[in-house]
Structures are given as structure tokens and as C-alpha cells.
Amino acid sequence: MNGADEPLLIAEGLTKWYGRQLGCRDVSFDIHEGEVLAVVGESGSGKSTLLQILSSLMTPDAGCVRYRMRDGVTRDIAALTEAERRFLFRTDWGYVHQDPAAGLRMAVSAGANVGERLMAIGARHYGRIRGSALDWLARVEIDPDRIDETPQNYSGGMRQRLQIARNLVTAPRLVFMDEPTGGLDVSVQARLLDLLRGLVAELGLAAIVVTHDLAVARLLSQRMLVMKGGAVIESGLTDQVLDDPREAYTQLLVSSILPP
Amino acid sequence: MAALALCGAEKTFTMHLRGGMRLPVVAGVEFSVEPGECVVLAGPSGAGKSSILRMIWGTYRCDRGAILVRDGAAMVDVAAATAREILRLRSRVIASVSQFLRVVPRVPALDVVAEPLGRAADEEPRAAAEAMLRRLNVPERLWSLPPATFSGGEQQRINIARGFLPERPILLLDEPTASLDAANRARVVELIGEKKRRGTAVVAVVHDDDVRTRIADRIVDVTQFTKPSEP
């Protein structure tokens, strides 16, 4: 089997309990480069727990996450050294939070927010860092004249786009997104979705998008996991799950909303 | 050798929110399509014509039987394929024109059409998309606009342009000419003829008798696959 056919990330039997409360149970799937996987379900279904385990922010009680490092070797992320894990966080992974304030440094300029990720991986040339920051602001449709402002002055949509720029500047191979359009107005959502869609296709990265919005899932993802009560109850192609839902709960989800 | 073969394909919807009511769609679907051949599925509304197209495309899961698609030297069974295998078929082997264009906010018509070939910003996909839009008489002033505000006929021509642009061994057409005027219907008939001459296997659902007689090499009556309702 050649490298391109091997998954980028493999989740196996992920299980997490919070005391006696189940977080997620026996979740397994894999994802390849260029794929966008949506994880849908209502609040408390285990989506966010899963995302935190996948991105090694949380340790599972059972199961493991394996990730193909840039050298082509697939490793258990629980067994990585601290330096390797840092590398993943700073470079190879992105994490887009629902609340941009959680993913940005609100007191420093937009340019510094983008440049910081580059400096963390060793970039030192001020002109080049600023050049990259300007380029990325333009790509996420933020006026370059506003590079020296802090995100405190930005609207919600702009902050979210800035957070995306900050994440993508290091050319990650995998991006985790937690309700990326969650707190935004509908018109702003459309712009962000279009932008995300374009960037994901252009950069060929893999993305795992947690959302309760089936329209977002339809637009962004090729594959989908439906979660309920901590378990994955249905999975498949996004159009398959939405247009031919098999499980009672998925049918309820799909029939409860306006057609996405 | 067939480009596509359905062997005993069957589909039933189970409606859990209606007390597990079972809604049979089709059963025992059996036909194949050779390269360069156009098979038209015929039958009244609700007979399952579009459902069969969706089963081939992989949107509707197939409960029983096989849907064999030729991918180079290999035959892939859509009914048993993984999501990833189906995605690969969609990007390399099967092209599809659905009944309605699914509009994505903010994406211009030209980008929608060019997407199966690549980005509209790149020379080759853009030139091909422009040529196709011109052939389908989509006015140039519309190309840079998102199709959300277009008329039904304009949206459908965007959809057709997008589906016909890539050269794939199999082309699925669901009512491609429904909302078109005579001139554009004729243009689509012409495009289908070109696809057939280049060896594309075409499966189509068309209600228009004139279009049907002009494109069909063979007509498959879908009512023979109707499954009696279960008690």
C-alpha cells in the first residue's frame, strides 16, 4: 500500500467517561488528506469530547488516535514526546474554535496573531513574516490596512476569518473545527463557508468539522458521522446520510430542519 | 464490455418516524449500459427512475444486489463500496446532472461549472467552462454571478454545463431538459450525441418524447422493477 492510500488519522475505539457520565463510546473512523469529515449531532452527543480527544487535548479512557507524521510514520499520539506534540499543535494541525477569542490573542495585532504561528516554527525574518500575514489577511478577505489593529476592533465574522488565517499560515495537514460558523449571522456564515470551502479544496488539507448545522455539513464535507448519546450511530457519504438517512435519529434530525 | 451493470439492485425506504413503515422503491433492477450507448429509463412519476440514478451515484444505499461500475480494468460495486471508493468514482468515472442545481452562496456560475475540472482561476478549467457556457447560451454577463438569482432555465443550464464538462466514462442525466426552451433542448441533445460518439455510457431520465427518441439507443421500462407494497 502506498503512502497516499494510508489514512492521515485513525481513531480506534475512543471511549471517554466523565465520572459516571459517558462522553463518547467506541468511536472509530479514519480520514485521508483532502477529505472533510463532518461530525453532527445535538448538544451533549459527544461531538466536542471526540474533537478534544482527537486533537489530544483530552486523554481517552480506552482506544487510541494514530496520526501519520510528516516522515510518513503513523504513530499513536499518546506516545509522542512533548516536542513532537508541540510540533503538531504549532504546525501540522489547526484548531478553529467556535469562539474566536479562544483561538486568538485578543490583545495583540492581527498581524502578530498570524505571524506568531510562523515564529513558533522558527521564522525570524520580520519582513517575510509580515508579508505572509498580509497575504493571509487578503486570502481571508480582511483589509490589509487593518493588520495593526487588535481583533478586539473586529466584527465576529472578521475575528473568525482571522482565526482561520492564523491556523492555516503554517500549512497544516489537518484542521479541527468546532462549530466554525456557530456564533455568526447567516450572511456572514455564507461568506465564511465559501471561504473555508475554497481554502480546503485549494490546500488539499483534511478537516474534521463538528457542527450541529446540517447545511454547513452538506456544504463543507464529503463524509459524515452522526453522533447520539456518545456513540456514532450512522456514517457515510454526506449526501447519503442526508438524503437516505437510515437510523431513526438521523431521520428525525434531517426531517426537523429546513432542507439544507 | 459494459461500463455499468445493475444486477438485482433493490431499494426500500424504512420510515422510522412513521412507525417503521416500509416504502418499497424498486427491486430486481437489471440492466447494463455499454460505452457509447444511451439507455433511457421510462415509466410514470414515482416509478423509481430518479431513485435508480441516485443508487448508481451512491446517494441512495442499495439494499440488495450489485451496481457494477467499470473503473479502468476493475469493476467496482457501488452497493458494497466504501465512501472513499464512491468519492473516487465520482471524481474520475461518473458524471451526473441532477434535476436541480444546488446553489452555494457566493460562488459564481463560472466557478460552479469549472469545479469538476479544477479552479476557475486556472487557465484550462476556465477556458473549458467558458466554452461550455457559451454553447449553452448562458449570457456572459451572468458568468461572474452566483446562480441563486438565476431563472430556472438558467440554473439548469449551469447544472448541465457542470455535468457535461468533465470527460467521464459514465454520465447520469436526471431530467436535464425539463426547464429548457427548444433551442437549448436541441443543444443538449447535440451534447449527448457528442458524449456517445466519444464512448460515454449515458443513463437518462427524460419526459420529453422528442428528446427521448433522439437520444435513446434503448429504453428500459422501470415499471417492471416495481416492488409490491408490503403488508
Q: What are the CA-CA distances from residue A134 to residues A103, B122, B155 (Å)?
A: 19, 23, 37
Residue A217 has pLDDT above 60, yes or no: yes
Tally helices (H) and strands (E) across chain B.
Answer: 7, 9
- pLDDT digits 0-9 by tens, A159-173: 999 999 999 999 999
pLDDT digits (tens, 9 = 90+) for A42-82: 888 999 999 999 999 999 999 999 999 999 999 999 999 99
Query: Strand A206-211 relative to strand A36-40: parallel, antiparallel, unpaired?
Result: parallel
For the whole model, what pTM was predicted? Answer: 0.92
The count of other CB atoms within 10 Å of the CB of residue A80 is 16
Report residue A239 as a C-alpha cell: 449526501
- Compute CA distances A98 → A54, A95, A101, A186, whole Å: 17, 10, 9, 15
Q: Is the pLDDT assigned to residue A1 strictly greater than 50?
A: no
pLDDT tens track for B7-40 = 999 999 999 999 999 999 999 999 999 999 999 9
What integer pLDDT is reported at residue B228 of this predicted model? 67
Q: Which residues of chain A lie closer than 8 angstroms to B81, CB-CB?
A: none
Q: What is the mean pLDDT of residues B184-197?
A: 97
- Cβ within 8 Å of residue B127, ≥6 positions away: none
3-class DSSP state for residue A224? strand
pLDDT at A206 over 60: yes
Number of neighbours of residue A125 by Cβ within 10 angstroms: 10
pLDDT band for position A258 (50/70/90)? low
Are A223 and B86 a contacting pair at CB < 8 A? no
Q: How far apart are CA A196 and CA A225, in angstroms?
A: 20
Tell me, what's the ipTM? 0.92
Average pLDDT rounded to a whole number, residues B115-143: 93
Q: A194 and B106 in contact by Cβ < 8 A?
A: yes
Confidence of residue A3 (pLDDT cuts 50, 70, 90): very low
pLDDT average, residue stretch B185-199: 97
Q: What is the pLDDT of residues B63-89, one digit of tens each?
A: 999 999 999 999 999 999 999 999 999
By the CB < 8 Å criterion, does B148 face chain A? no
Query: How does residue B120 score in pLDDT terms, banded at 50, 70 and 90?
Result: confident
Q: Is the pLDDT of residue A260 over 60?
A: no
Interchain proximity B61–A244, CB inside 8 Å: yes
Number of CB pairs, chain A paired with chain B, less than 8 A apart = 54
Residue B58: which of B35, B38, B82 has the closest Cα?
B82
B31 touches chain A (CB under 8 A): no
Residue B166 contacts residue B95 (beta carbons within 8 Å): yes
The residue assigned the cell 422528442 is: B210
Closest CA relative to residue A67, chosen from A57, A56, A75: A75
- Interface membership of A202 toward B (CB under 8 Å): yes
